[in-house]
Amino acid sequence: MTPADIPPEQSPYVVALERIAARDKQIAELSALRAIDVHDAWQLLLAEAPHDQSTAGPQWSPQRVAEVEFFTEVAMLTHRTEYRARTLADTAIALVSKLPASFAVLAAGDMSEEHASVIATHSEGLEGEALEKYDARMARLAPGLTYKQLEYRARSHAQIAQPETVLERVEKAVKTRRVTVDPAKDGMAYLTLFAPAPEVYAIANRAVALAKGLKVGGDPRSITQLRVDVLCDLMLNGETSIPGATTGIRGRVHVMVPAMTLLGVGEEPAILRGYGPIDPVTAARLTADATSWRRILTDPITGRILQLSPTDYRPTQEMRDHATLVHPYCVFGGCADDSVDADIDHTRDFAGGGLTEDENLAPLSPTHHRVKHHTRWQIEQGEDNTLIWTSPAGLVYVFEPQGVMRPAPKALVDAVAKTTPREVTAEEPCPF
């Protein structure tokens, strides 16, 4: 739109709004073009017929190998999480291969990529005439609804279209229940619970009821704040009612605090494993209440964690600590799984001559441990714990260790170097 095209009565603000709508239309059109590219890439990978690369254990089918290679490849290439990459790929493949009416609406720029994702997600399991009716109805509804409104319609229509498979789909979905943690800014984080709807709504209703009760009793906190606080209290201090579950377990956090910071000399921030730097007040509170400590030595010049243990067939606890401190997360690109729960993998397989030493160990989530062994992804590790991944397509990705402390300030190193070391007796306690 040029200035000559703008009617005199239109304000610049209205013109700006129209530009926003026009950009959204362009984004939708580009999303349709990308969907074609994703679909084509998937077909080309299938033509290569990738097969299981492992030499032991249960073998993956060619379809599973292709799916895992494709989703991980797209995730790494586009800097998405694997969940987002899978959603992108599933949506694109479904639109191009079996949802022509909905794809036409997206290509015309009349609905967003979020709308298309909703339609594709709920089309799973629909076939024949049921799929055609679903596609036509969603294509007709999408332009006039938000994607949240469309999600409700799509879910309802899909369930009505195939009522005989409702129980089967619910049982399948229940198996995917999970809890995820995502860090946020200013010392906050998101805890996402993906569980059966009745339980989730019951949890939310209980939180509201408890919050309202406290509010009526004069608690100054807002209802929103109270809902969060009562849930945190229940999860941290409540006891499980699941038969066989151990009671009395409390949550644990792992905080790495430089000794010089504790002594008031350095300014290096404390690190909450899985999150990152935390403020000094929180670090002080956590260290004051700590029930156990583990001393980890680092090189003051480079900040690198020093060798902790000799080699052995199985990683020692010290080696596991080294790997999880250097790499707070699974070392597969885009994965945010906490390394504490990961497998400590030999980068170069032990059976292939790889040694059990710090420079050959890295944490991989169980999922990505299997990806490494069953697909064509390849990994190498440098002496500084840098990981180099080569994808099935031959693309190379380099990941630096995240848990290395910064070197000590040069002035502090020089001051220590000039100080005459004194003899330390065995009776003296460790200062940190």
Q: What is the mean pLDDT of each run of 10 residues along the chain (432 residues)?
A: 59 90 96 97 95 88 94 94 92 96 96 95 89 94 90 83 69 86 87 86 84 86 89 79 56 64 64 66 69 59 54 70 83 80 85 80 90 92 84 89 63 60 43 40
| Contact by Cβ (8 Å): 390, 396 | yes
Given its phi and psi angles, is residue 80 left (phi above 0), alpha (psi -120 to 50 degrees) or beta? beta
pLDDT for the residue numbered 142: 93
Q: How far apart (Å, rounded) are the C-alpha atoms in residues 240 and 250?
A: 11
Q: In the 3-class helix/strand/coil scheme, how is 223-250 assigned residue by residue? A: HHHHHHHHHHHHHHHCCCCCCCCCCCCC
pLDDT for the residue numbered 210: 85
Residue in the structure block whose two tokens are 């987002």: 84
The model's pTM is: 0.67
Residue 313, strand partner residues: none
CB-CB neighbours of 322 under 10 Å: 25
Helical axes 128-141 vs 147-161, angle rounded to 10°: 160
